[in-house]
Amino acid sequence: MATIMRRTAEGEMRWTLTQFPTHAAAQDADMSLSQYTDFVFKALHLDQEDSVSVWKEKSTRQQRLVDWLKGKDKLTIKGENIDLSLSIAGRTFINDDGHYNMPGGEIFTGPVEDSVNGWVRFTYPAIYGGREVSDVELFFEEGRITKATAKKNEEYLLSVLDTDAGARYLGEWAIGTNYGIDRFTRNILFDEKIGGTLHMAVGAGYPETGSVNKSGVHWDMICDLRDGAQIHVDGEKFYEAGNFLVEEMEKAL
């Protein structure tokens, strides 16, 4: 994992990952193969007449968000399932617009390792190593997870978090931007991109974001924000109930 992350960040390794509809993937998603195929096409925007233009427009819009976040410091996220603060000072947001993961549809960074404080309840099952852990709650103090609970497979959750020292810190913090993905499928390639959600990964961070967290673990967990949750950036409201507000802010400048 660390070698792949390093080689990608340094531009030594090019790759693209996608999903071909299969019976097994459809079963995991609780769909028929026909339903799952339609879902995949919609997630990749292949149901649109000109999907290339759709992806180019998405890339431009996400880049505006990334550019706006450059040089910012403090993020606060508050909602029914989250009350968290963290710093992105000196960190870089990456525009995932389909050049590596397909579908793309997120902006992500690595938070300052010792800056995360607060609590989050992940609203979707967290799946890692073929094991499903449900109703995960994490509590952070100065970046470190000091308490973790789950209703299903809590012992497994704790064992992964104790893999190494870096596994109890965040390596990634991201917002999903693909509104063509409208349901949870137990496939992180799609699920982390669900429009209106955020996800965080415990463990290894991506060097290109500025993250220096190292771990043998990289476990993405997803929290829905469409219940009215808000994200403030340096005191300015940036996001509410699953939608970005940066356009309104730019118009007011």
15-62 pLDDT, tens digit per residue, is 678 888 999 999 999 999 999 999 999 999 999 889 999 999 999 999
Handedness of CA 194, 195, 196, 197 (dihedral sign): positive
Under 8 Å between Cβ of 76 and 240? no
Q: What is the mean pLDDT of residues 219-246?
A: 94
- Is the pTM higher than 0.85? The answer reads yes
Q: What is the mean pLDDT of residues 174-203?
A: 95
Q: What is the mean pLDDT of residues 132-143?
A: 97
Q: What is the pLDDT at residue 18? A: 85
Q: What is the mean pLDDT of residues 235-249?
A: 85
Q: What is the pLDDT at residue 251? A: 52
Q: What is the pLDDT at residue 14? A: 72
Question: How buried is residue 169: exposed, middle or buried, by Cβ count under 10 Å (0-12/13-18/19+)?
Answer: buried
Token pair 């996400």 in the structure block, residue? 62
Under 8 Å between Cβ of 24 and 36? no
> Above 60 in pLDDT, residue 207?
yes
Strand partners, 82: 79, 120
* Contacts with 67 (C-beta within 8 Å, 6 or more apart), sequence order: none
CA 93 – CA 73 distance, rounded (Å): 12
Token pair 């609780």 in the structure block, residue? 30
> What's the pLDDT band for 82 if we cut at 50, 70, 90?
very high
Q: What is the pLDDT at residue 189? A: 93
> Above 50 in pLDDT, residue 101?
yes
> Above 90 in pLDDT, residue 214?
yes
Q: What is the pLDDT at residue 253? A: 37
Q: What is the mean pLDDT of residues 97-110?
A: 90
Q: What is the pLDDT at residue 247? A: 63
Question: How buried is residue 4: exposed, middle or buried, by Cβ count under 10 Å (0-12/13-18/19+)?
Answer: exposed
